[in-house]
């Protein structure tokens, strides 16, 4: 009888240690994936409406810009330059060296009016604005131009430095309006 109790205890201990190993491996893998490969983001405002709605949830790929540069039109997740404790989600409008002009409700990049089918309403432009995007920086705007705290309105700088970019937004996985899982590739 004593042998059965002893072997049951050994089996239980062995199984428990095995469980702890798997749990530790899963925890470490989840930590590495969420810290270095993907980012889970909640869009805090309606600045990207209609592309991304307020409180929608999305996944960004942290490794997108390891071997390439952000491109005009990419939707990025980045540290807000005026308060790096906050993350913002906006669309890249200008890349290093671009001349951005905003007037009469249009955005012009290097002399050409930007084709923006994602804009939901005409942009109000009370004054003409011109920006020259510095090296290693990006000019970003929300798709909901009349309700977006973007590069035009920041206090410390009008640009996002490359090292402030956390990820390229890849897909939306939760639609807040319809309260359902909704995998949608972001463009």
- pLDDT at residue 159 greater than cutoff 80: yes
Q: CA triplet 133, 136, 138: central angle to 5 degrees?
A: 45
What pLDDT score does 154 carry? 97
Q: Please confirm, yes or no, whether 151 is among the known catalytic residues.
A: no
pLDDT, position 126? 85
Residue 19 domain-assigned (yes or no) = no
The reply to whether 79 belongs to the active site is no
Q: What is the pLDDT of residues 128-142, one digit of tens each?
A: 999 999 999 999 999
Provide the domain limits for residue 112: 37-185
Residue 3 lies in a domain: no
Burial label, 35 (beta-carbon count in 10 A; 0-12, 13-18, 19+): exposed
pLDDT the model gives residue 5: 56
Pairwise CA distance, residues 93 & 108, whole Å? 10
Cα–chain center distance at 63: 12
115-64-31 Cα angle (round to 5): 135
Q: What percent of the chain has pLDDT over 70?
A: 97
- What's the mean pLDDT in 90-109? 97
In a domain, 16, yes or no: no
Question: Could you tell me if residue 1 is inside a domain?
Answer: no
Catalytic residue (one of 64, 90, 148, 151):
90
Q: Is 52 domain-assigned?
A: yes
Q: What pLDDT band is residue 1 in, cutting at 50, 70 and 90?
A: very low
Output the pLDDT for position 3: 52
**Block residue for tokens 């639609």:** 175
- Mean pLDDT (whole number) for 137-162: 96
Give the domain CATH number at 145: 2.10.109.10
Torsion of CA 64, 38, 156, 96, to 10 degrees: 0
Residue 18 lies in a domain: no
Average pLDDT of the residues of the chain: 92
Residue 32 lies in a domain: no
* DSSP percent split of the chain into helix, strand, coil, nearest 5: 20, 35, 45
Look at residue 59 and tell me if it is in a domain: yes
How far is 158 from 135, CA to CA, in rounded Å? 13
Question: pLDDT at position 97, please?
Answer: 98
Out of 7, 18, 47, 179, pick the active-site residue.
47
pTM of the model: 0.87
Number of domains composing the chain: 1
* Alpha helix ranges (H) inside the chain: 2-32
Q: Is residue 155 pLDDT above 90, yes or no?
A: yes
């Amino acid at each position: 009888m004593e042998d059965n109790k002893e072997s049951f205890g050994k089996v239980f201990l062995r199984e428990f240690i095995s469980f702890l190993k798997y749990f530790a491996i899963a925890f470490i893998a989840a930590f590495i994936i969420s810290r270095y490969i993907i980012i889970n983001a909640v869009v805090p405002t309606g600045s990207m409406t209609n592309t991304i709605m307020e409180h929608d949830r999305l996944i960004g790929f942290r490794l997108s810009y390891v071997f390439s540069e952000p491109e005009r039109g990419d939707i990025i997740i980045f540290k807000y330059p005026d308060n790096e404790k906050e993350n913002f989600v906006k669309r890249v409008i200008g890349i290093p060296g671009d001349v951005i002009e905003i007037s009469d409700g249009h955005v012009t990049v290097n002399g050409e009016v930007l084709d923006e089918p994602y804009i939901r309403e005409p942009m109000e432009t009370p004054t003409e604005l011109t920006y020259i995007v510095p090296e290693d920086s990006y000019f970003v705007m929300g798709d909901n131009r009349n309700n977006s705290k973007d590069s035009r309105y920041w206090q410390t700088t009008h640009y996002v430095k490359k090292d402030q970019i956390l990820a390229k937004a890849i897909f939306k996985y939760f639609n807040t309006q319809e309260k359902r899982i909704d995998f949608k590739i972001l463009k």
